[in-house]
Amino acid sequence: MMNGKNILLAVSGGIAVYKAVALTSKLTQAGANVKVMMTRHAQEFVPPLSFQVLSKNDVYTDTFDEKDSSVVAHIDLADWADLVIVAPATANLIGKMANGIADDMVTTTLLATEAPVWVAPAMNVHMIKHPAVVRNIERLYRDGVRFIEPEEGYLACGYVGRGRLEEPEKIVQHINHFFQEEEKSLFGKRILVTAGATREKIDPVRYLTNRSSGKMGFQVAEQAALRGAHVTVVTAVKDPLLPSQVEVVAVHSAEDMYQAVMERADKQDAFVMAAAVADYTPAHVFDQKMKKTPGDQTFEMKRTKDILAEVGQTKRADQVVIGFAAETENVAENALRKLEAKKADYIVANDVSREGAGFEGDTNIVTIYGADGSEEALPLLEKREVAEKITEKLARKLGRA
């Protein structure tokens, strides 16, 4: 998939620069056209000649070193790239990118490009958790930059933890998958995704909710958008980290979510119902804050509307519905019962009591059950990878694989 693709590799200063050399080699072997630009500090670890020999292209290190007088180098590079990879990305470079600083060849080119930009951080375990670095990463994500998560392991500083640059082989896999997605298997399709927990109001300051973070639904939304779909996310999660092209509909309660989904149902090609919707809501909401009184307090609860069941029962023949089942026991039995009762096309089930498969984390362990009798058990994967599997099934079901 990389044959003939133009990949611009931006290398910043850190001991992980040696992995960028290996990455250049592997990308070139895969058929990509690779050009490399380096910061001044990156050249302290590896000379430009190493990248030049492996890429068979000039290496760019100075904004004012114009190798071709007929073009402006940083603009020419920015326009040339199909994909820009920043690896390794130091905290310093991430900070410059987030704040629009352009003071060298790398940062100037990054500001000028309209190609997708991926950042692969590499730094000390404490640095990557620093509020300033986290803030800069979140800002870049909102701007459309995507990140290749660092690994956990032994770091050059002597610490053991998260901060190692992802291995070149895995970065190549990500890039290859990206160009596969360019086929846009969901192009033109309209996908509605629900994500996260609902909030059921008790009084002006209290509400009932659950532990769902929305991460699984958000990953599905991002993967569907990458495949060309028009994606709408209905969620009660405040300020979700989502690509700018994804439409976000903010709700609070189960009733709000029900109304938002059903208002848009006719226009959708598919539904991915990943939200953990409250089954019950307070029958009476107090206008004023409840005061603490002696003894216990009892609340009357009423059943909320079953959004997945409503969508499944009212869907057209050409619409696809995917539901989720978070279980703690009898996972297969409960998932199959839900699949039939909700008239879904697929149910994605997981045992949330298992390590790595619960709420709020970045990984999941799921089994996908199909109304056609299919069953696919996935091992422990990042939620992004689970989302890829779900969107692949969605594309096949819609006849767009």
CATH code where residue 135 lies: 3.40.50.1950
Q: Kindly state whether residue 1 falls inside one of the protein's structural domains.
A: no
Distance separating alpha carbons of residues 164 and 154, to the nearest angstrom? 8
Alpha-carbon distance of 148 to 360, in angstroms, equals: 19
* Tokens at 152, concatenated: 């956990």
Amino acid at 92: N
Domain for residue 136, yes or no? yes
Which domain, by its residues, includes 301? 190-397
CATH of the domain at 355: 3.40.50.10300
Q: What is the pLDDT of residue 132?
A: 96
Domain membership flag for residue 214:
yes
Tell me what pLDDT residue 156 has: 58
SS3 355: coil
The answer to whether residues 242 and 110 belong to one domain is no
Q: Are residues 299 and 273 in the same domain?
A: yes
Distance CA 294, CA 254 (A): 31
- Find where tokens 């939304």 sit: 221
pLDDT tops 50 at residue 244: yes
Residue 342, φ and ψ in degrees, nearest 5: -90, -5
Domain contains 353: yes
Indicate whether 196 and 167 sit together in one domain: no
Which residue out of 30, 112, 157, 341 is catalytically annotated? 157
Q: Is 203 labelled a binding residue?
A: no
Residue 220 covered by a domain: yes
Looking at the structure, do residues 52 and 156 belong to the same domain, yes or no? yes
Mean pLDDT confidence for 357-372: 89
What average pLDDT does the segment 331-351 reach? 95
389 and 252 within one domain: yes
Residue keyed to tokens 């072997």: 29
How far is the C-alpha of 61 from the C-alpha of 70, rounded, in Å?
Answer: 18
Residue 235 lies in a domain: yes
pLDDT score for 254: 97
Of the three residues 130, 150, 181, the one that is the final residue of a domain is 181
Note the pLDDT tens digit of each residue in 81-118.
Answer: 999 999 999 999 999 999 999 999 999 999 999 999 99
Task: Please check if 324 is assigned to a binding site.
Answer: yes
Contact between 147 and 120 (Cβ < 8 Å) = yes
Same domain, 140 and 198: no
* Cα separation values, 127 from 86, 123, 163, 373, Å: 18, 6, 9, 48
Count the Cβ atoms, other than its own, within 10 Å of residue 18.
15
CA dist., res. 228 & res. 272, Å (int): 16
Statement to judge: residues 138 and 13 lie in one domain: yes
Select the highest-mean-pLDDT range: 3-12, 204-213, 255-264. 255-264
**Do 349 and 295 share a domain, yes or no?**
yes
- pLDDT tens per residue, range 161-198: 666 788 999 899 889 878 866 557 888 899 999 999 99
103: its two tokens:
């003071």
Mean pLDDT of 25-31: 94
- In angstroms, the Cα distances linking 204 to 88, 201, 290 are 48, 7, 9
Instruction: Write down the mean pLDDT value for the chain.
Output: 91
Residue with tokens 């799921």: 366
171 and 211 in a single domain? The answer is no
DSSP secondary structure of 214-247: SHHHHHHHHHHHHTT-EEEEEE-SSS----TTSE
Contact between 236 and 251 under an 8 Å Cβ cutoff? The reply is: yes
Give the total number of structural domains in the chain. Answer: 2
Q: How far is C-alpha 377 from the chain's CA centre?
A: 21
User: How many CB atoms sit inside 10 A of residue 78's CB?
Assistant: 19
Residue written as token pair 């953990």: 276
Domain final residue, candidates 139, 163, 181: 181
Domain boundary among 118, 146, 181: 181
Are residues 204 and 108 part of one domain?
no
Residue 68 banded pLDDT, cuts 50, 70, 90: confident
Q: Give alpha helix (H) positions in 227-323.
A: 254-264, 307-314
Q: Are residues 278 and 135 in the same domain?
A: no
Q: How confident is the model at residue 400 (pLDDT cuts 50, 70, 90)?
A: very low
Residues 336 and 315 in one domain: yes
Highest mean pLDDT among 145-159, 323-337, 356-370: 323-337
Query: Alpha helix locations (H) across 120-229?
Result: 125-128, 131-142, 168-181, 215-226
Q: How far apart are CA 105 and CA 300, in angstroms?
A: 64
The contacts of residue 286 (CB under 8 Å, 6+ apart) are 202, 203, 204
392 part of a folded domain: yes
Residue 153: inside a domain: yes
**Interval 280-308 mean pLDDT:** 93
Is 50 among the residues known to form the active site?
Answer: no
Lowest mean pLDDT among 73-77, 184-188, 278-282: 184-188
Q: Does residue 362 or residue 278 have the better pLDDT?
A: 278
279 is in an annotated binding site: yes
Annotated binding-site residue? 338: yes
Question: What is the dihedral sign for C-alpha 68, 71, 75, 76?
Answer: negative
The two tokens of residue 324 are 């989720």
